[in-house]
Amino acid sequence: MTEPSTAPLYITMHALDNVAIVVNDGGLPAGTRFASGLVLREKVPQAHKVALVDIAQGEAVRRYNVPIGYALQAIPAGSWVHERLLQMPAARELEGLPIATVKPEPLPPLTGYTFEGYRNADGSVGTRNILAVTQTVQFVAGVTSFCVSRIKAELLPRYPHVDDVVALEHTYGCGVAIDAPDAVIPIRTVRNISLNPNFGGEVMVISLGCEKLQPERLLPPGSIPIRDERGQATGADAPLDTICLQDEAHVGFMSMVDHILRQAEGHLQRLNARRRETVPASELVVGVQCGGSDAFSGVTANPAVGFCTDLLVRAGATVMFSEVTEVRDGIDQLTARAASPEVAQAMIREMAWYDAYLNQGRVDRSANTTPGNKKGGLSNIVEKAMGSIVKSGSYAITGVISPGEKLTQKGLIYAATPASDFICGTLQLAAGMNLHVFTTGRGTPYGLAEVPVIKVATRNDLARRWHDLMDVNAGRIASGEKTIEQVGWELFELMLDVASGRKKTWAEQWKLHNALVLFNPAPVT
């Protein structure tokens, strides 16, 4: 571990900001002189804001090039800018938003970067070669789990090119109002997860028989088209491989088990014939999210992820950012950055839907910032949201998808999901991500069986203590050892290595697998 610098340091998020964040452990005392010549007029705690210039009363205090508040009094350069000096901007209504007004400067395309992936018939690319066992209903989870253990122990060793066998367990499928309008969300989520690029187009469904979510409803005709050599749909459908436990042919549990193992073998044979091939970095489909956030999330890890997001978009790849409740206060920035009015309207539609969903549960979103957030230097929800949105980089937003939908285009995509870590990851998986990036400050051992999860620590201390759980340490940005750009590039290179299977993430190494958690806003019965 390199020694962090002890020189007084601050981090500015944008060239037009008039405040910066003090990064030194324990904060800095009055009289501290920075390399820029700025002198502190008073003590400023770690992760809190210092005025870089004189700010007049009523003037916007800008961080991330966004007004996070308005000065209640004149704030001289070198002052501590805390929440009591700021008037919080009014909550954004969903009317009168700027629509596609910002046209980010097009950056030069990033070419020449590749990874080794599994090309699928539909043109998508997997980063792992996994047999996934889809389930229509929770009732079959025990049987599926029993069979997956046996497949792994008895069959998988004979198919060395298959990475893993994964049961797609979930709690949906029966006892639910399946015709409620919002039931479409959990149903299409399970469907689209089974079609994730990491499963090679091999779909195998275990059904009970009497459940509400029948196999034909989960994967209706057209879900798995037969393709020609050029990957074009032929108009015909592949027959759905369904094993029904209540089938009269099954006499005894072992009959079901034998049937499932027999069917699994056919899928394993086809998956095992696949080989990695060199594909352009544009085939990456990256889902980004944060969880267990701290004051440094928006200073170190999220900006580095944002820089990497720009690299990926320049390389022609797809990046999804999500978490409705953590971007809601920055909606004006997002609609302004939309590539077209249609994209902006789609974003507004998602926010309005979620506002109504929260209202139904009588939730007051002004309660979002915690005492810990404020102690850590986040003055209000606007500033917190800005720290989360920064993961999306600086490019124009080219598309929006609703919860559980599958991506149909490349570029920077807003995938509407709750901020809940498990639900966000599950929905990004359904959207078709083949690589997941997760930033954390407090620390979480999060991982998924279906797709590699690269975890980025916001602080040196977390990276030191969790050295065999965190894949990237963005804390070095705060200690001045690395720049945002350097960590962003490091993450980009690691993504190509992990996507290629050359490196495993720590969560893969230890097989840390969280459950799939469906978002079901519809009633249960």
Reference 430, options 399, 400, 408, 405; nearest CA is 405
What Å distances lie between residue 460 and 5, 440, 443, 472, 483, CA to CA?
12, 12, 12, 10, 14
How many other C-beta atoms lie within 10 A of the C-beta of residue 99?
17
How many other C-beta atoms lie within 10 A of the C-beta of residue 72?
12
CB of 415 to Ca ion, least distance (A): 12
Q: CB nearer to Ca ion: give 192 or 289.
A: 289
CA distance 19 to 13: 9
Q: CB nearer to Ca ion: give 130 or 416.
A: 416
CB of 218 to Ca ion, least distance (A): 27
CB of 290 to Ca ion, least distance (A): 5
Q: CB nearer to Ca ion: give 206 or 295.
A: 295
How many other C-beta atoms lie within 10 A of the C-beta of residue 504?
13
Q: CB nearer to Ca ion: give 163 or 326.
A: 326
Q: Which amino acid is at 230?
A: R
Reference 285, options 410, 404, 109, 107; nearest CA is 410
Q: CB nearer to Ca ion: give 75 or 424.
A: 424
CA distance 406 to 429: 9
Residue 135 contacts residue 103 (beta carbons within 8 Å): no
Q: CB nearer to Ca ion: give 289 or 318.
A: 289
CB of 424 to Ca ion, least distance (A): 5
CB of 437 to Ca ion, least distance (A): 12
CB of 295 to Ca ion, least distance (A): 16
CB of 298 to Ca ion, least distance (A): 13
Specify which residues 453 forms β-bridges with: 436
Q: CB nearer to Ca ion: give 313 or 427.
A: 427
Q: CB nearer to Ca ion: give 379 or 439.
A: 439
CA distance 263 to 253: 16
The closest residue (CB) to Ca ion is 291
Q: Give, for 70, the enclosing helix (H) or strand (E).
A: strand 66-71
Residue 257 contacts residue 146 (beta carbons within 8 Å): yes
CB of 292 to Ca ion, least distance (A): 9
> DSSP class of residue 190?
H
Q: Which amino acid is at 269?
A: Q
Number of residues in the chain? 525
**Contact residues: Ca ion, CB under 5 A:** 289, 291, 419, 421, 424
